Structure 1
Amino acid sequence: MRIEPTELADVLLLTPQPYRDGRGLFTRTFDAAVFDEHLGIPGLSATFVQDSQSRSYRGVVRGMHGRAGRGEAKLVRCAHGAVHDVLVDIRPDSATFGRQRAFLLDDKDFRHLYVPPGFLHGFQALTPVADVCYRIDRPHDPAEDLGVVYDDPDLAIEWPQPVTVVSERDARAGSWQQLIAAQHLAPRA
């Protein structure tokens, strides 16, 4: 597994190395020892406590979601199909506060993201069906949900396809400016 930094502070792109033959392929999608060694934090991988999966249809947008409090670290990958995955840094002390980055996650190269606490996350399904798997480091607590509407003009996220469906909750999410004010997220000088 190859692990690379990204333009967003502390976000990592993990690329497994599949073995392909006449039967298809085999790949290790995660290796705790390699992950922990790369980060220099023995046992960090053992903090992941829940795995979840979503299925979305072409054009669906899920997001932009985050967690208040101490946040939530996650590993995100697309097990089937392809998604346009977007992260926005909401950590006030981060050098990349307010910046966003999009990644193509798909079932061809199996890349996935390590997203540390303090990011908004969302994606758009690019294929007829896209299955996204999430591994998170603490149980989900709906009381800590944060959200910014997917078409917020300040974030100006460029979704590559027309948006076909968003949940009612995501359509009612607040703005980037409301999130900053409510969470006291203005960057510190």
Structure 2
Amino acid sequence: MGKIKVIPTTIKDLYIIEPQVFGDARGYFIESYSEADFVEAGLTMKFVQDNESRSKRGVLRGLHFQTQHTQGKLVRVVEGEVYDVAVDLREGSPTFGKWEGVLLTAENKRQFYVPEGFAHGFLVLSEYATFQYKCTDYYAPEYDGGIRWNDPDIGVEWPLEGIEEVLLSDKDQKQPMFAEFVAKENPFKY
């Protein structure tokens, strides 16, 4: 077995990744990313940028994408816990408009690979969460796109129990609905 375990999801090209964890009474050690291990597992994406955010309980960031300079993201949590979601926006995909969610925590050390052509977002479930992600292209604010986090046509089942208030940025409060995305020329192809 390789150093990472790659778990396919119900949506093609979207993966949960479990790194090998070496732990003892002192704590733990993981290789959070090794290009050689990813290539051995059949994952050949190249990363060019690392990002980190820290958010409090109830913060929901998303659902985001870039229409050009599209980004694949390898996401993980190093403090706390989030519910992470990806929505397939690839025209012609049999899972177009479908979503997948995964619980990412500092304890389970799982990672989620969200490829280009997906909208991405997460909800913080713990008091605070520190979220890290690697990107396959650079952030290009002029190509920012998004879809409303609670769009009924997508129907993401966010785990809102215990969340008193969903905290959104001004931008995320005004994101368009999925039908508006569908009505435009789709930049993502399957």
TM-score in terms of structure 2 length: 0.90
CA distance in 1, matches of 2:104, 2:33: 15
Poorly superposed stretches of 4+, deviation over 6 Å? 185-188
Shift of 1:16: 1.1
Alpha-carbon spacing, 1:132–1:79, altered in 2? closer, same or farther (3 Å): same
Name the structure 2 match of 1:111. Answer: 110
Shift of 1:40: 6.1
Unaligned runs of 5+ in 1: none
Identity %: 36
User: Which segment drifts farther, 144-153 or 171-180?
Assistant: 144-153
Q: Is the 8 Å Cα contact of residues 87 and 102 (structure 1) preserved in structure 2?
A: yes
The within-5 A match list for 1:28-177 is: 28-39=31-42, 41=44, 44=45, 47-69=46-68, 71-161=70-160, 162=163, 163-177=165-179
Opposite residue 20 of structure 2, the aligned amino acid is Q
Opposite residue 153 of structure 1, the aligned amino acid is P
CA distance in 1, matches of 2:53, 2:153: 27
Opposite residue 115 of structure 1, the aligned amino acid is V
Residue number among 176, 182, 185 corresponding to 1:183 in the alignment: 185
Q: Is the 8 Å Cα contact of residues 19 and 27 (structure 1) preserved in structure 2?
A: yes
CA RMSD in angstroms comes to 1.8
Opposite residue 174 of structure 1, the aligned amino acid is P
Alpha-carbon spacing, 1:187–1:27, altered in 2? closer, same or farther (3 Å): closer
TM-score in terms of structure 1 length: 0.91
Unaligned runs of 5+ in 2: none
Tell me which protein shows more helix as a share of its residues. Answer: 1
Alpha-carbon spacing, 1:18–1:73, altered in 2? closer, same or farther (3 Å): same
CA distance in 1, matches of 2:43, 2:76: 22
Name the structure 2 match of 1:18. Answer: 21
User: Which segment drifts farther, 153-162 or 126-135?
Assistant: 153-162
Residue number among 1, 6, 27 corresponding to 1:3 in the alignment: 6
